[in-house]
Amino acid sequence: MLIDMASLNSSEVYHLMTQTIVPRPVAWVLTQHQNAHYNLAPYSYFNAVSSEPPLLMYSAGKKPNGEIKDSIANFNYQQKCVVHIASAQQINQMQQSANSLPADESEIEHYNIELADFDGFELPRVKACPIAFGCELYQTTEIGDKPQTLVFVEIKQIYIADEVISLDDKQRLKTDVLKIDPIARLGGREYASLKEILVPKI
């Protein structure tokens, strides 16, 4: 099958891209609202984009009513965020947090998500997540005909759960990805977890 992208409308393009660009990592992003509560939302248009400086990027569309997402609006009040790598055990809470709530309501409270102090960082982290990046806003850019907001954040510090780290034979930090068991986004409401690590024999 050969598909001409110009023949598709925007929802068809989104559907096709998310069915074929798989798996995708998921950023579970915590920001702070001006009323001091915390917003938490997942984004699967997400990845690392630079190491000097250490930058992450996620892309956010608009709410169904056309307003910008809370995790973007909150940067007007607090230019910090925590980007989490959630494990497969957290899939239900993560999916629930994708639901649209009024800006003055918190997904943390609504879905009973436990937080923990992020030592040395201004915002807390989701306690059960094995990886969390304390980040500062670097840049936002509007892109596309139906504008998406590209958010670039600079990693200031990283939390890694003790049970998922060790040292390799060169005494460098090594994570056990199977213990992290990160959520991978597929198409629609489908996700995957890691069951095997493949190493090329070359």
Q: What is the pLDDT of residue 104?
A: 81
Q: Which domains does the chain have, with CATH numbers?
A: 25-192 (2.30.110.10)
pLDDT tens per residue across all 202 residues of the chain = 999 999 999 889 988 999 999 999 999 999 999 888 999 999 999 999 999 999 999 999 887 777 788 889 999 899 999 999 999 999 999 999 998 888 788 999 999 999 999 999 999 999 999 999 999 999 999 988 778 899 999 999 999 999 999 888 778 889 999 999 999 999 988 999 988 888 899 8
pLDDT score at 112:
93
Query: In angstroms, rounded to a whole number, what is the distance separating the alpha carbons of residues 46 and 150?
Result: 10
Q: CA–CA distance from 190 to each of 11, 24, 40, 100 (Å)? A: 17, 11, 20, 19
Alpha carbon 98 to its chain centroid, in Å, reads 11
pLDDT at 36: 87
Q: What share of the chain is helix, strand, coil (3-state, %, to 5)?
A: 20, 40, 40
Q: Does an H or E element contain 170, and which?
A: none
Q: What is the pLDDT of residue 67?
A: 79
Sign of the C-alpha dihedral, residues 50, 139, 73, 117?
positive
Distance CA 65, CA 41 (A): 17
Q: State whether residue 122 is helix, strand or coil.
A: coil
Q: How far apart are CA 83 and CA 134, in angstroms?
A: 7
Contacts of 64 by beta carbon, 8 Å cutoff, 6+ apart: 100
